[in-house]
Amino acid sequence: MEIKKVGRIVRIEFKSFVIALLAYLLTSMSAFATKLPDNILQTIKSDLPKASVRFDGLITLPDGTVYIPVLPSNPKRNAVGKVVSTYPANKKLAQLPDVVVFDSNYAFLKVIKTKDGKLTVTASNNIPFIVKTGLLPQDMLVPPGLIFPEDMQIMLGDLKVALKNSSVNNIFQGAVEVKKNPVSTKIVPVPYMAGRTLLVTSLDSKLINVIPSDSTTPKFTLKMENLPKFIQPVCNDDYILIAASGKTYIDVADVKQEVLARKIDLAYQPSEIILTSDKAKAYVAVDDDQSIFLIDLKSMTLVEKIKIKGYPKHITISADDKQIAYIDKNTGDIYTLTLDESYTNKFIYNASNISKLIVKGDNIYALSRTEDELLVIDNDIQDIIYKQPVAKKPVDMFLKENKLYILCASNELDIFNLEDFSMETIVKLPSTGFSKKLVQVPNTNILLITNVTDKKYLVYDMKTNTVLQTVTTPLFINDLQLINKRLK
């Protein structure tokens, strides 16, 4: 701000004063953890039904159109989400104008490309003054390289715009896997598998391999900062939550924008994640603290740190979302945690070398890897009420209705009926390798069975209890997740 003394008169450059004042007022506004007003969200849903609104307010459409929200400095009350002005003038929201102003003074600015391919917004003289006094959400990741007109820089507040996709935000720019020795495997079409994508990690690589369901080799790879500990698609597969070894945060990857949109810092190293049945919340266990963290997946924010007994491992959630079960990795003690206001944390039983837990009703089902048994533990009496021998080295379980599908590393799938506690079916799998994990293809009867020592996975039909095919891969699979769409 320039101050000039003329005799006894002090002249202050008015324009500089206004900018400084607005900067102070706007950056004092609460523009974090952005949520657009419900009436505007309803207008978007009505006029742009295929649009997606990211947790930080960024709006994207299937054709690549991107709108940036502008939060008003003086929001009007009693607004209904009506569009009151646009540029070009008299356009409907469905016509995708460059500027949209709502009756609450909220506004959208469309990201446009210049002739030389740079990202910007429409010229300043096309934007109403009331919009220029607003502020961009301060937690938003704007498209890298976005250029704002000089007289609109104040709208950025403290928001930093990357000049280009940095190494932090370019996991989707990883190199395509080089096929030195292409693996030739005929992929037999499997119902419900078409158009999906596999996300695969290995034990010795920082890469997440992106493999179409009709292929055996990665189409491209996502490079992380360290070895991935878990990968979890969420929010209709629009985002991927990723935890890496040695890191205290969870990366939120935006699949549509192909960037890391946010880091959720827990201050401890995340190790496991489970989702509620409605996929609205995630519970995260950490390696080095007696806590479970609750994350709101709609806002992608840390909601609560829940103090618990022991250091949680093999966390699992009941189908009704009423309780979590876990084992203390240091003692072998099994606990339940009620998911209500009380967060009642109850000791249930002590067992050694447990590889998997499932909680259903009043019982916990635990796999004893060393005893080769399924243990049925009654939560009320805190003791084992039934033991079922299984094949050697049980490693994973999947619950479907009243059946437990028990995967054993000795390449056997045991199907246990929970109604009468009987072993219903024993399925011998191909004899090579070390079976590790069961992954359901969502809303189907198909299970994918991974193998940690052979480069393959099996496609299994739970309805017919048969292996439909063996799919060879170019890498050893540590973790595998499914996305119900193709990437790129």
Same domain, 18 and 152: yes
Backbone dihedral angles phi then psi of residue 260, each to the nearest 5 degrees:
-85, 110
Q: Which of 14-18, 76-80, 187-191, 301-305 has the lowest mean pLDDT?
A: 14-18
pLDDT, tens digit (0-9, with 9 covering 90-100), for 257-314: 778 888 999 999 999 999 999 999 999 999 899 999 999 999 999 999 999 999 999 9
Q: How far apart are CA 134 and CA 157, in angstroms?
A: 10
147 belongs to a structural domain:
yes
Q: Which of 167-171, 320-324, 335-339 has the lowest mean pLDDT?
A: 167-171
Same domain, 140 and 19: yes
Share of the chain above pLDDT 70, in %: 87
pLDDT of 19 > 60? The answer is no
351 belongs to a structural domain:
no
Q: Rg for the chain (alpha carbons), in Å?
A: 27
3-state secondary structure of 23: helix
Contact in structure between 231 and 242 (CB atoms under 8 Å): yes
State the residue for tokens 């974090």.
32
Same domain, 27 and 144: yes
pLDDT of 26 > 50? The answer is no
Same domain, 38 and 140: yes
385 belongs to a structural domain:
no
Among 120, 123, 138, smallest CA distance to 69 is for 138
Residue 167 identity (one-letter amino acid): S
Same domain, 27 and 112: yes
Which has the higher per-residue pLDDT, 439 or 185?
Answer: 439
Share of the chain above pLDDT 90, in %: 64
Tell me the sheet residues that pair with 220. 210
Arithmetic mean of pLDDT, 210-233:
87
384 belongs to a structural domain:
no
Boundary (domain end) residue, out of 262, 288, 307:
307
187 belongs to a structural domain:
no
CA terminus-to-terminus distance, the chain: 49
pLDDT at res. 488: 66
437 belongs to a structural domain:
no
Structure tokens at 479: 């973790």
pLDDT at res. 160: 73
Residue 289 domain boundaries: 225-307
Boundary (domain end) residue, out of 307, 331, 361:
307
Contact in structure between 180 and 205 (CB atoms under 8 Å): no
Among 282, 284, 252, smallest CA distance to 267 is for 284
Same domain, 41 and 122: yes
pLDDT, tens digit (0-9, with 9 covering 90-100), for 381-400: 999 999 999 999 999 999 99
Residue 229 identity (one-letter amino acid): K
Boundary (domain end) residue, out of 124, 156, 188:
156
299 belongs to a structural domain:
yes
Structure tokens at 68: 């940036």
Contact in structure between 218 and 176 (CB atoms under 8 Å): yes
Q: How does DSSP assign 131-198, residue by residue?
A: HHTSB--TT--PPTT-B--GGGGGGGTT----SS--SSS-GGGPPPPP-SS---------TTTTT-EE
pLDDT of 190 > 50? The answer is yes
Same domain, 20 and 144: yes
Residue 258 identity (one-letter amino acid): E
Q: How far apart are CA 315 and CA 359, in angstroms?
A: 10
Same domain, 151 and 27: yes
Number of residues assigned to the chain: 488
Arithmetic mean of pLDDT, 95-111:
96
Residue 85 identity (one-letter amino acid): S
Count of domains observed in the chain: 2
Domain at 242, CATH number: 2.40.10
Q: How far apart are CA 133 and CA 104, in angstroms?
A: 14
475 belongs to a structural domain:
no
Structure tokens at 449: 């069975």
Mean per-residue pLDDT of the chain: 87
Arithmetic mean of pLDDT, 166-192:
53
Q: How far apart are CA 282 and CA 195, in angstroms?
A: 26
